[in-house]
Amino acid sequence: MTGEGSARRLYVDTSAWLAGLLAEAGGADVSREVRGAQLLSSVLLVVEVNRNLVRLAREGKLTPAQLQLAMARFEQDLDTFELMDLTLDVARDRAMPSVVTPRSLDLVHLRCALRFHHEAPLTRFVSLDQAQNEAARDLGLPT
């Protein structure tokens, strides 16, 4: 699942990327959409994907071989992303959706997406989490 060079700028959150990586529900659509696009996310993507892969393996939902394959594939995929660091500026940003109060890490994704969007408009904020999509729309991000 890679996305190299194009005018389409997609901010991809962890729920969407994991679905594509693991061929979960909605994952095929995500994989098609990101193909050929400029992919953007937060460094949280790295932490969240690795954590979730280990969790799935510990729960017996991934074999050790599947875990290693998914981790190796994710490492390759990371080369296609522009990742925004979690800085004090991002943490101090006051952007907060009015429709929901996101979880802390979801809020970091939203704030990073907004910063990318202000640099150059995003084509879409890609998430499989409906509350996250609602918050993104409330902040003016295209979903």
Instruction: Give me the phi and psi of 119, to 5 degrees please.
Output: -70, -45
pLDDT band at 4 (very low <50, low <70, confident <90, very high): very low
pLDDT per position as a tens digit, 91-139: 999 999 998 888 999 999 999 999 999 999 999 999 999 999 999 999 9
Q: Map out the domains of the chain with their CATH numbers.
A: 9-138 (3.40.50.1010)
Does the structure show a pLDDT above 70 at 6? no
101-123 burial by CB neighbour count: b if 16+ within 10 A, else e? ebeeebbbbbbbbbbbbeeeebb
pLDDT per position as a tens digit, 16-64: 999 999 999 999 999 999 999 999 999 999 999 999 999 999 999 999 9
The angle, 0 to 180 degrees and rounded to 10, between the axes of the packed helices 27-34 and 14-21 is: 100
95: exposed, middle or buried (Cβ count in 10 Å: 0-12, 13-18, 19+):
middle
- Tokens 């902040």, residue located: 139
pTM above 0.75, yes or no: yes
